[in-house]
Each structure stands twice: as C-alpha cells, then as structure tokens.
Amino acid sequence: SDFDNYLSPEEFSILLEKPQLYDTLTDSGIDCEGLVEIINFMFLQQGGRIPISAVLDMIVQLRGHNTATVKDLFDFRRLISQDLRTLEQKISTSLRVSLGSSVTSRGLF
C-alpha cells in the first residue's frame, strides 16, 4: 500500500492472496468471490481507485447472513439505470459518428 487511504486493483489482489486474510473473511461469513466481483465493478466505476472505507463498508455488507433490504434493491436499481444511460449515450454517439449528421437531421436521435 502507498498509505493514501485508497486501494488499487493490484493492492486489493495482494491483500486477498494472503491466506490468513482470506480465511478470516470466509470464517466471518464474507462471500469472497462476491466481494471480488463487486470490488472489481467498483474499480471500473471509480477509475481504478477505491477508498479503503468503501471496501470495508462493502465487506460488512457482504456477510453471508445479511439479507437484501429495500435500500439495497433501490441502490442496485440506481446503479443499473446509470449504467444503462451511459451505455445508451455511448451507442447514440457511436451511431451519430458512424452514420453522419444526415440521420440526426431526420430526428432519429
């Protein structure tokens, strides 16, 4: 770690390669595979660096005996909606560039 209170993907991988940490997380009911997937998604969303506090919050939320709450579902819905809007904008931009301005002048976009 470079002691900046953020984790990079490389730092996160190094941490999870430590058998003692992995065992401690697993023994505490943490779904480590789920943690890796969510943290990797967070790295993509936040430009490759995540505050350590966000990682710790995620670890607490991923304990196996926790059940999903209405707030969790709304947070998930919000994330999916944001991703869909971003994807839609990228597709629209790509189509405009690929097809030229004649398509946009006809009101398709």
For the stretch 28-46, pLDDT in tens is 888 888 888 888 888 888 8
Model confidence pLDDT, tens digit, residues 43-59: 888 888 889 898 888 88
The angle at the Cα of 31, spanning 81 to 16, to the nearest 5 degrees, equals 105
pTM of the full structure: 0.54
How many Å separate Cα 26 from the centre of its chain? 21
Q: What is the pLDDT of residues 84-104, one digit of tens each?
A: 888 899 999 888 888 875 555
Instruction: Write down how long the chain is.
Output: 109
